[in-house]
Amino acid sequence: MPTRNSALWAAVLMAGSVAGPAFAAPAQSRTAQQQATWNVEVPSPESRSEVGVAALNGRVYVVGGGVERAGAEPQFASDLVTSYDPRTGRWANHAPLPRELSHVGVAALNGKLYAFGGFTNVVHIDPQPLAYEFDPRRERWTRLPDLPARLGSVSVAAVDGKLHLIGGRDSRRIETIPGVPFELGFGTVRSHFVFDPGRRTWSTAPQLPAESRDHAGIAVLGHRLHVIGGRVEDVDQNLARHDVYDTRSRRWTRAATLPVPRSAGAVVVLGGRIVYAGGECGPGGETFDDVTVYNPRTDRWSTVASMPLGGRHGLGAAQVAGRAYYIAGAPTCGGGSSVDTLELELR
C-alpha cells in the first residue's frame, strides 16, 4: 500500500523545494584514523535531483533527472546532460539524452558513457527499457539494444569490460493516494542483467539475494560488486543490506550492513574504501547528511564528517583524481532539488 511518505513525496514534488548555492568553510572530522575534508565547489547551472552521475575523462557527467527553474513548473524528467571539470571549476553542456528521463542508471566504460532505463513520469511511472551510449569525442548518443525489462532506479556498474544492472523498479503496480494528484509506481525486482558493449548483447547473472530492491548504492572493488542499502518499495521499507557479487565465481555473499537503513544516497570508491553519503528518510522524515566509510579489510563501517550543506537524496557521486564529487540532490525527503556541488577528500 502507498504510505504517508509516498504522499509527502508527491506533495513536495508538486510544490517544489530548491536549495540554492551556499558556501561554507571545509568541514573536517577524524574517526577511526580517517580524515574527511569537504569543499563547496561551483554550483550547477540548474537545480536538479534524481540524476545519473559518472566520471569520464576527468569530468563528472550529470545525466537526466528532475529540473526546477524559478517561475516554472517542476520538470520531473529531463534530457539535460552536463559535466563539471574539477580542474577548472567550469560546467559544460553536452548533447541531450534522446529521451527525457529521471532515475537513469549511468556508468562509464572504455571512454564511453552509458545510460540505462529510467522513468518518464512522476512518481516512478513509466519505467523504460532504453539503453544509450555516449561518445564524448563526437558528442553523440547512440541507441543500444533495449534492456530485457522496463526498469527505473536500477544500479549500474562496470566490471571487466561489461556493465552490470542490478535490481530496479518495474512499477508493475500503480496506486493512488486520496488528495494527491499523482499516481505512484510500486514493484521492485531482484534481476541482474549484464550488457557486453563490444558484442552489444544482454545476458543474465545470479539475481540479488533476499529482498527485491531499487534506489540501492553500488560500488566496485576489484572484481566484486557491492550493492548497498536500497528500498523494497517505499522509504518505510529501507534496507541496511550489503550484498557482494563476485564476477569470477558468480556468487553472492554478505558484508557488514549499513549502520542505518537508507536508500537513494550516493556511493563512491576512494582509496580502496566505499563511501556512502546522504539518502532518505531518517526517523523524523528528514534526509540523511551523514557519511559512512566501508573498509573491506576489516569489514567495518566508520563515520566521517557529514555533508556541509545538509542532508539530501537523489544526488550522484563520482571520483576524479582521488577525490569524490557529489552533485545535485533533494534536500527534503521525497522531493526538491539543489545546485550544490561538493568535493570530498578522504585520508
Rounded to whole angstroms, the Cα distance separating 257 from 292 reads 11
> How many domains does the chain contain in total?
1
20 pLDDT more than 50: no
The alpha carbon dihedral of 316, 318, 324, 327 has a sign of negative
C-alpha cell at 140: 553523440
180 domain residue, yes or no = yes
Q: How confident is the model at residue 293 (pLDDT cuts 50, 70, 90)?
A: very high
Which residues, listed in sequence order, are joined to residue 174 by a DSSP beta bridge? 185
CA–centroid distance for 96 within its chain: 19
* pLDDT given at position 282: 86
CATH number at residue 43: 2.120.10.80
Rounded to whole angstroms, the Cα distance separating 273 from 189 reads 27
Q: Are 200 and 139 in contact (CB under 8 A)?
A: no
* pLDDT given at position 57: 97
93 domain residue, yes or no = yes
* pLDDT given at position 63: 98
Q: How confident is the model at residue 32 (pLDDT cuts 50, 70, 90)?
A: very low
- Comparing 320 with 9, the larger pLDDT belongs to 320
155 pLDDT more than 70: yes
Q: Give the domain range for residue 311.
A: 4-17+27-346
User: How many residues comprise the chain?
Assistant: 347
294 domain residue, yes or no = yes
22 domain residue, yes or no = no
Q: What is the mean pLDDT of residues 105-121?
A: 97
Q: Which run of H or E residues covers position 11?
A: helix 4-15
> Average per-residue pLDDT in the chain?
91
9 domain residue, yes or no = yes
9 pLDDT more than 80: no
* pLDDT given at position 220: 98
- pTM summary value: 0.91
Q: How confident is the model at residue 122 (pLDDT cuts 50, 70, 90)?
A: confident
- Kindly give, in sequence order, each residue whose CB lies less than 8 Å from that of residue 38, ignoring residues fewer than 6 positions away: 26, 27, 28, 305, 307, 308, 342, 343, 344
316 domain residue, yes or no = yes
In the block, cell 563476485 appears at: 246
Q: Which run of H or E residues covers position 6?
A: helix 4-15
CA angle 184, 187, 190 (to 5 degrees): 150
7 pLDDT more than 60: no
- Kindly give, in sequence order, each residue whose CB lies less than 8 Å from that of residue 197, ignoring residues fewer than 6 positions away: 109, 110, 112, 114, 133, 144, 161, 162, 163
87 pLDDT more than 60: yes
169 pLDDT more than 70: yes
* pLDDT given at position 14: 38
Return the half-sphere exposure (C-beta side, CA atoms, 13 A cut-off) of residue 4. 3
